């Protein structure tokens, strides 16, 4: 069970994970957590390096969370490569102490009497259900940041942030980290996690790590692997137009409609299909008309069958 200095200990059991964390706490060592869905790329590894700097020991969770996918979404085809993930984590300077890789975070052992076994009766009055509820596993407690979850990605993915906030709450309770690191590429997610930590009084410091980009500017994403070379080239329109918008804003173009129009036009001309392009307050994520305080310009667009998101902070 003991891990060598550079070989992460793989824990699949909640109770074992808890026990490991408790033993670290008893030794007075602080724990940094990086929650991931695996298929790690350089973006994830930058979060791991950040956690390495912030905590005495580092736990990376690898878990594709059914609670944040709608039945129509890509849960079944979400890419995975656990052996590759372990190799990459081992190569991070300092390594990581634990990879928490549970089989099913929603398996509560013996089913309680009255739990739904089929999905048909679950949330019969709720149009938006996740893959978890479709499976009818009896889980029914959800954490929601009711305002922050509404706009942007929340519009086209109504169960997404409910699922993210809930699984992160679970991971916080199992791993009990002192510090948790999230990528600002998922800007809305990052703000929601920060808000839930504040509102639910978790004693955890939440760190936002900057967007990692490929040499050509494309924001790193596990889903990039599904882009054809042509689509990948066209998708550069997102980061390039966002970058131009930031420059324009810094030069005094504070009218958000104009800035949004130019980004939408650039992406559409490249063949992308816009999901949303919004300029919002960095904290409240409320749409702004004119840039008078720190904002973030967030975009989601489809290239072929791949939905990409990106954002850029504008601090004027």
275 close to 302: Cβ distance less than 8 angstroms: yes
d(CA 150, CA 207): 23
Stretch of 44-52, 108-116, 231-239, 306-314 lying at the interface with a copy of itself (CB under 8 A): 108-116
Torsion of CA 228, 305, 165, 59, to 10 degrees: -20
Interface mask toward a copy of itself for 175-214; x: CB under 8 A? --------------------xx-xxxxxx-----------
Minimal distance in Å, beta carbon 166 to a copy of itself? 7
Applying CB under 8 A, what is the total number of residues that bind a copy of itself? 45
**Looking at beta carbons only, is 42 or 140 nearer to a copy of itself?**
140
Using rule CB under 8 A, residue 107 touches a copy of itself: no
DSSP characters over 84-133: HHHHHHHHSTT--SEEE--S-TT--SSPPTT--SSSTTTTTT-S---HHH
Pull the structure tokens for residue 21.
């964390």
Using rule CB under 8 A, residue 128 touches a copy of itself: no
44 is catalytic: yes
Pull the structure tokens for residue 211.
């967007």
Q: Where do we find the tokens 């969770």?
A: 61
Using rule CB under 8 A, residue 115 touches a copy of itself: yes
Minimal distance in Å, beta carbon 22 to a copy of itself? 9
- Rounded to 10 deg, the angle between the 187-199 and 160-175 helix axes is 50
Using rule CB under 8 A, residue 112 touches a copy of itself: yes
**Looking at beta carbons only, is 4 or 112 nearer to a copy of itself?**
112
d(CA 85, CA 89): 6
Which residues, numbered 281-300, are part of the site for a copy of itself (CB under 8 A)?
Answer: 281-286, 293-294
Using rule CB under 8 A, residue 169 touches a copy of itself: yes
Stretch of 47-55, 112-120, 242-250, 265-273 lying at the interface with a copy of itself (CB under 8 A): 112-120
Exposure string over 126-161, b if 16+ CB within 10 A, otherwise e: eeebbbbbbbbbbbeeebebeebbebbbbeebbbbb
**Looking at beta carbons only, is 176 or 231 nearer to a copy of itself?**
176
Minimal distance in Å, beta carbon 49 to a copy of itself? 27
129 close to 120: Cβ distance less than 8 angstroms: no
What are the residues binding a copy of itself (CB under 8 A)? 14, 18, 25, 105-106, 108, 112-115, 122-123, 126, 139-148, 165-166, 169-170, 173-174, 195-196, 198-203, 281-286, 293-294
Q: Catalytic residue numbers?
A: 44
């Amino acid at each position: 069970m003991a891990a060598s200095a550079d070989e992460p200990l793989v824990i699949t059991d909640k109770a074992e994970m808890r026990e490991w964390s408790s033993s670290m706490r008893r030794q007075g060592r602080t724990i940094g957590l990086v929650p991931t869905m695996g298929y790690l790329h350089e973006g994830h590894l930058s979060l791991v390096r950040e956690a390495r700097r912030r905590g005495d020991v580092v736990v990376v969770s690898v878990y594709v969370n059914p609670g944040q996918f709608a039945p129509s979404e890509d849960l079944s085809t979400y890419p995975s490569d656990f052996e590759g993930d372990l190799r990459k984590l081992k190569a991070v300077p300092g390594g990581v102490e634990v990879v928490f890789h549970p089989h099913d975070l929603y398996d509560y052992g013996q089913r309680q009497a009255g739990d739904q076994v089929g999905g048909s009766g679950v949330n019969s009055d709720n149009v938006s259900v996740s893959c978890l509820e479709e499976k009818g596993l009896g889980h029914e407690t959800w954490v929601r940041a009711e305002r922050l979850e509404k706009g942007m990605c929340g519009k086209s993915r109504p169960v997404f942030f409910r699922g993210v906030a809930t699984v992160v709450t679970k991971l916080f309770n199992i791993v009990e980290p002192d510090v948790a690191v999230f990528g600002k590429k998922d800007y809305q997610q990052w703000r929601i996690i920060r808000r839930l930590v504040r509102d639910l009084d978790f004693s955890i410091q939440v760190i936002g790590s900057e967007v990692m980009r490929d040499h050509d500017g494309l924001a790193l994403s596990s889903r990039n692997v599904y882009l054809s070379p042509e689509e990948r080239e066209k998708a550069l329109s997102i980061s390039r137009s966002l970058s131009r918008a930031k420059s324009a804003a810094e030069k005094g173009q504070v009218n958000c409609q104009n800035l949004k129009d130019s980004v939408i036009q650039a992406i559409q001309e490249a063949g992308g299909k816009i999901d949303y392009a919004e300029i919002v307050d960095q904290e409240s994520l409320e749409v702004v008309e004119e840039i008078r305080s720190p904002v973030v310009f967030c975009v989601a667009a489809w290239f072929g069958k791949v939905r990409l998101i990106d954002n850029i902070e504008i601090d004027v």
